[in-house]
């Protein structure tokens, strides 16, 4: 569905609609761990730099600006995918953000937020959502190729 690019969307987790992140309950804790979906990584390509604008332990609301990312294809602010307490950032990424490209569903996770996660989508819902915005996506990707 991603043109010539293969994209994996594991079904053992949920997805946040707006900023294309996956979410998975971290074991033994009430927090959701977030990372970029294959779709987001496809759009970003190589990640060069990542920084967070809030401290661990603060409450964030969905849509709040929490960080910044620089990649081969984009410089962009990052927003909280859900409301809750942001308990942990993946500190390793500050030194080496390329882990996001190598293992976006595993070691390249971004942060953990404590909260109910009721606005998160199932993989099916997420794929349906991607289909619905597919036209925009195609334009974006084509735009990149024509650069």
Instruction: Using alpha carbons, list the distances in angstroms from residue 142 to 97, 128, 136.
Output: 26, 21, 10
Least gap, CB of 101 to other proteins (angstroms): 11
- Told to check if 125 binds other proteins by CB under 8 A, we report no
- Told to check if 6 binds other proteins by CB under 8 A, we report no
Q: Which is nearer to other proteins, 9 or 89 (CB)?
A: 89
Q: Cβ(59)–Cβ(86) under 8 Å?
A: yes
What's the DSSP call for residue 121?
A: B
Alpha helix (H) ranges present in the chain? 38-44, 92-95, 99-102, 123-132, 134-145
Q: Which is nearer to other proteins, 48 or 134 (CB)?
A: 48
Question: Residue holding tokens 């195609």?
Answer: 138
Q: Cβ(22)–Cβ(37) under 8 Å?
A: yes
Pairing type for strands 58-60 and 47-52 reads: unpaired
- Told to check if 55 binds other proteins by CB under 8 A, we report yes
Size of the site for other proteins (CB under 8 A): 15
> Cα Rg for the chain, rounded, in angstroms?
15
> CB under 8 A: which stretch of 6-14, 26-34, 46-54, 130-138 binds other proteins?
46-54
Least gap, CB of 78 to other proteins (angstroms): 12
Q: Which is nearer to other proteins, 97 or 117 (CB)?
A: 97
- Told to check if 62 binds other proteins by CB under 8 A, we report no
- Interface residue with other proteins, options 11, 45, 98, 138 (CB under 8 A): 98
Binding site for other proteins (CB under 8 A): 48-49, 51-55, 66, 70, 91, 94-98
């Amino acid at each position: 569905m991603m043109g010539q690019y293969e994209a994996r969307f594991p079904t053992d987790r949920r997805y946040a609609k707006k900023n294309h992140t996956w979410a998975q309950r971290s074991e033994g804790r009430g927090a959701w761990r977030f990372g970029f979906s294959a779709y987001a990584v496809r759009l970003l390509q190589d990640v060069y730099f990542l920084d967070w604008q809030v401290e661990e332990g603060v409450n964030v609301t969905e849509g709040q600006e929490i960080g910044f990312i620089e990649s081969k294809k984009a410089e962009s602010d990052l927003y909280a995918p859900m409301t809750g307490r942001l308990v942990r950032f993946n500190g390793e990424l500050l030194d080496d953000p390329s882990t996001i490209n190598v293992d976006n569903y595993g070691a390249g996770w971004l942060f953990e937020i404590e909260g109910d996660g009721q606005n998160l989508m199932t993989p099916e819902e997420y794929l349906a959502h991607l289909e619905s915005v597919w036209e925009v996506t195609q334009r974006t990707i084509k735009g990149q190729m024509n650069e």
